[in-house]
């Protein structure tokens, strides 16, 4: 297989950045019920709320977690991307998650900071999806290790 050109790399990186942003947007804007669509049918997820495999389990864990929060915002930065083939890549993203539980607007609490280790695959439809996402909290005020 030919190596990925710089132009292909730029397009792939942009598409994966869009995927990462969509993940946070859907959770933060009341669309947790649509998050499983961002994953492959057999995807593996290991997050702060527990593990899930496949879209049915992903749907259940995302919707359950969203009900627990009044408001959230995910800030994702520092994408480190390794493109293995034109249809497969690995990446690490630094995240900070702010949240509020309870009535009213409330104070933003940065409750988790860490890394998201991902495997991305491009499907036959041309869309990139998560094949695997592992959330490694470095700091968390809401999760006991």
Rounded CA-CA distance 129/87 in Å is 10
What is 44-96 written as a DSSP string? EEEETTEEEEHHHHHHHHHHHHHHH-SEEEEEEEEEEEEEEETTEEEEEEEEE
CA distance 76 to 86: 23
How far apart (Å, rounded) are the C-alpha atoms in residues 119 and 143? 24
Q: Which two tokens stand for residue 12?
A: 């792939």
**pLDDT-derived band of residue 3, with 50, 70 and 90 as boundaries?**
confident
Q: Give the per-residue pLDDT at 99.
A: 82
Instruction: Give domain limits for the chain.
Output: 6-140
Q: What is the pLDDT of residue 127?
A: 98
Q: What is the pLDDT of residues 43-91, one digit of tens each?
A: 999 988 889 999 999 999 999 988 877 788 899 999 999 999 999 999 9
At residue 144, the pLDDT reads: 55
- Which two structure tokens, joined as six digits, stand for 48? 């702060």
CATH number of 6-140, picked from 3.30.70.100, 3.40.50.80, 1.10.760.10, 3.10.450.50:
3.10.450.50
pTM above 0.85, yes or no: yes
The rounded mean pLDDT for the chain is 91
Q: Are 20 and 79 in contact (CB under 8 A)?
A: yes
Kindly state the DSSP code that residue 141 receives in the 8-state scheme. S
Tell me what the mean pLDDT of segment 25-49 comes to. Answer: 94
pLDDT at 143: 58
Contact 79, 16 (CB under 8 A): yes
Residue/partner pairs of 1-8 with CB below 8 Å, 24 or more apart: 1/85, 1/86, 4/83, 4/85, 4/86, 8/86
Name the band, by pLDDT with cuts 50, 70 and 90, for residue 101.
confident
């Amino acid at each position: 297989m030919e190596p990925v050109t710089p132009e292909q790399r730029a397009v792939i990186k942009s598409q994966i950045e869009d995927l990462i942003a969509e993940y946070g947007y859907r959770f933060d804007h009341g669309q947790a019920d649509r998050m499983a669509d961002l994953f492959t049918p057999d995807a593996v997820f290991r997050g702060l709320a527990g593990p899930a495999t496949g879209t049915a389990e992903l749907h259940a864990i995302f919707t359950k977690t969203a009900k627990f929060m009044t408001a959230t915002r995910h800030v994702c930065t520092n994408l480190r991307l390794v493109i293995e083939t034109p249809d497969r890549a690995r990446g690490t993203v630094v995240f900070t998650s702010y949240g509020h539980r309870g009535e009213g607007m409330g104070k933003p609490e940065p409750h988790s900071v860490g890394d998201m280790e991902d495997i991305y695959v491009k499907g036959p439809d041309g869309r990139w999806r998560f094949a695997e996402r592992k959330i490694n909290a470095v700091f968390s005020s809401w999760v006991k290790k």
